[in-house]
Amino acid sequence: MKVTTLTSREFNQDTSGAKKAARKGPVFITDRGRPAHVLLTIEDYQRLTGEHQSLAEALAQPGADLEFDPPRLGSGLFKSADLG
């Protein structure tokens, strides 16, 4: 894991570069020479917090594009009730 440190100015001037760096590890953003913020991927954040989304939360996110192709069950799914 690679740790990157950027000043606030560097972050503002190259946000896409900061996002690319965050794929390799945390990005510390400094304010007046002191760490003030950390940029992480959502996967790293969820791993750190132990947070997991429900299916409804994942689907509610803007741009959610989840593939779902459940296996088909055979014709034996429904059976007549044996009342005897």
At residue 77, does pLDDT exceed 70? no
User: What is the residue-averaged pLDDT of the chain?
Assistant: 85
Span 24-57, pLDDT tens digits: 999 999 999 999 999 999 988 888 887 776 777 7
This model's pTM is above 0.75: no
CATH-assigned architecture of domain 1-53: 3-Layer(aba) Sandwich (3.40)
At residue 80, does pLDDT exceed 90? no
Cα diameter, the chain: 82
List CB contacts of 13: < 8 A, sequence separation 6 or more. none
At residue 62, does pLDDT exceed 90? no
CB distance 14 to 37 below 8 Å: no
